[in-house]
Amino acid sequence: MNKIELLAPAGDMERLQMAVAYGADAVYLAGNTFGMRSFAGNFSPEELKTAVELCRALGVRVHVTCNTMPRNDETARLPQWLEYLEELGVDAVILADVGVLALTKRHAPHVQCHISTQASIVNYQSARAWHDLGASRVILARELSLDEVAELERVCFPDPWSRNMLKEELENDLAAFLVALDGQGAVAGYAGLQVVLDEGYILNVAVRPDCRRQGVAGQLLQVFLDFAKGNQLAFLTLEVRASNYPAIALYGSRGFRGVGRRKNYYEHPKEDAVIMTLDLTGEEETDE
């Protein structure tokens, strides 16, 4: 499997700088035209040049969205924009229209074509068709990703969250979820975080069985650690099955320490939960 890429949105220069500072492997952003996120600040041609230069200096890849469905008058202007992206050396264009893909291959031949979630790909035949047309990556429909996360829950946990429970958490303003995709755009793992005041609670960390031992869980966890430090949280807390030694070792390697147990917390089979906490205040007690 290809290395998991942590791809972060960057609606403006401030958000791009934050994404880069907290360890993003790549960012996706839009110019003033041809991007679906018209509500974001986005980037003028000059700002985009600056953004690409910053990312290039730090080894961060840049994906630019061209995922609108352009009308005839817009397609007449698109080649000039694509040639500019080629000149800047962006890594990929995120698109959803087959005509835009053809124009990208013609006017920006060194830029990869990634198919946007706006294309609503939900089966392998569609993914293969886009690949045959020259796409190097497809992003599956959002609805499918939620189904995949629910399936991942079922595979990874004896007491999995239902699809409805996951959906409710996604709509929870206090919670955030990260999803790691493999090289084919399928869900490789996910993690959830809930924040209340200055404390964070890691809800779940799950990795697809064939993607384990490849650092996926560690990368997901590190994003939350960087977020917690950047937002000056005081603690991060989680629960883990007492017999899940690999997970306990992973959390321990990131500074989490066992602070208690919840008796018979888990069902199927019944088992204690180890409560682990990471103190971010810099005032953790020692044995001295």
Q: How far apart are the first and last CA of the chain?
A: 45
Q: Look up the CATH superfamily of 158-288.
A: Gcn5-related N-acetyltransferase (GNAT) (3.40.630.30)
67 burial via Cβ count (<10 Å: 0-12, 13-18, 19+): buried
Write out the residue limits of the CATH 3.20.20.70 domain(s) in the chain: 1-139
Ranked by mean pLDDT, the top range of 7-16, 105-114, 122-131, 140-149 is 105-114
The model's confidence at residue 4, banded by pLDDT at 50, 70 and 90, is low
CB-CB contact of 139 with 117 (8 Å): yes
Residues involved in catalysis: 239, 251
Both tokens of residue 25?
């492997």
Q: What is the mean pLDDT of the chain?
A: 86
Q: Is the pLDDT of residue 170 over 80?
A: no
Q: Is the pLDDT of residue 140 over 80?
A: no
- Note the maximum CA span of the chain: 73
The domain made up of 1-139 is a member of CATH 3.20.20.70: yes
The model's confidence at residue 173, banded by pLDDT at 50, 70 and 90, is low
Mean pLDDT of 128-139: 89
The pLDDT of residue 1:
39
pLDDT cut 70: percent of the chain above it? 91
pTM score of the predicted model: 0.59
The pLDDT of residue 37:
57
Write out the residue limits of the CATH 3.40.630.30 domain(s) in the chain: 158-288
The pLDDT of residue 267:
84
Report which of 140, 218, 150, 120 is spatially closest to residue 182, judged by C-alpha positions.
140
The pLDDT of residue 284:
47
Both tokens of residue 132?
């045959």
The pLDDT of residue 56:
94
Q: Is the pLDDT of residue 124 over 80?
A: no
Which amino acid belongs to residue 180?
A: A
Q: Say whether 125 sits in a helix, a strand or coil.
A: helix
